[in-house]
Amino acid sequence: MDSDAGSSLTFDLRGLVWGIDSEVAQITSLSRRIDQRVHEVNAVRAEMVERLQVLDELVEAAADPTLRAWLEDVSAVPVPSINEVFPDRLYSD
């Protein structure tokens, strides 16, 4: 094997390894960002649970049936519904 071929192979392999390192760094960064977002969503969820518990206690404390019915009506939490669209490439072989 001549020196030029060995140098070219070494250069190509270094490029491949650097490319993989770059992709790993990008995926790691993306994973950290996802983890941060999940942490933020979980914090908001915990806050919402506390608020809903207080609201439930308020409704339970209402002795007047009209007041209770009104509280139940205005405190009803709508459940969001979103139609998910999955790309065809997820289901193709």
- CA 37, CA 32: separation in Å to the nearest integer? 9
Give mean pLDDT, residues 22-41.
96
Helix (H) or strand (E) holding 42: helix 3-61
Cβ within 8 Å of residue 62, ≥6 positions away: 68, 71
Q: Are the beta carbons of 58 and 74 closer than 8 angstroms? A: no
Question: Does this model's pTM top 0.75?
Answer: no
Specify the higher pLDDT residue, 75 or 54: 54
Residue 77 is predicted with a pLDDT of 77
Using DSSP, state whether 85 is helix, strand or coil: coil
